[in-house]
Structure 1
Amino acid sequence: MDELWFADGLDFTCLECGRCCRGEPGAIWVTPEEMQRLARHMELTEEEFSRRFMTKRWGRPSLVERKNGDCIFLDAEKCRCLVYGLRPAQCSLFPFWPSLLRSRESWEEARERCPGMGQGRHFSQEEILAMLAKSPFFEL
């Protein structure tokens, strides 16, 4: 991100449609701490949780996806995350990912799939950069 095209900030409000959790294969990276919290919540050992719900994507631990690309923790019928309160940081940062912030075109392309992008709460450039700085996986 050489030039920050979003210097005036961006608008986003989650409409809880579940579109960000489905459809296309990718990676849902998880830190060891996030995995521990999820395992505890599900009353599983870390080993059992890892065996059932984890894989590696691009060399990093990631949640598995269903064959159709949906996140394993998406309740497709209700379009809700089954572990919303414990979801990985990557999930809570959406749509403020470097890949979507790289250019206005990338943001607009994602906006076609996410009805919450471009409306609602205004996030300043400083807020967006601060969120990314806290992420263990995203580099500015």
Structure 2
Amino acid sequence: MPETAEHKHVADDLLLKVSQATSGYVGHDYLQELTKFITFTLGVRYALISECANESKTKVRTISYVDRGEPLENIEYDLAGTPCEIVMNGEDYFVPKTWSRNFQKKSILNHMFQFPSTAHLPAK
């Protein structure tokens, strides 16, 4: 879809808001403020930022994980059978409804599967 002037304005406005919300932070504090900002701005319960936890790229660990804007203890989990597995291959993943049906494997993230939609984006 071609970018319109309205899309550019919305994107610029969002980038300005992210910058304002996180400008006083660096390192882990920056990532924590960013995930908190995501939950408040998008009206979502959970937001997390994760990284590879092993050389074979079969596990990830969160480096910032929040529930309703409150920091949670970071976790490590297997990628297999999770939406993160798709993202680790460099693809965006968005499902507006019934996403949990696609991921029935028991996972440390099962508590998230009760929600109707999800979006996952690789850092590029």
TM-score of the superposed pair, with normalisation by structure 1 = 0.30
Query: Which structure has more RCO (C-alpha within 8 Å, separation ≥ 6)?
Result: 1
TM-score of the superposed pair, with normalisation by structure 2 = 0.32
Q: Which has the higher strand share?
A: 2
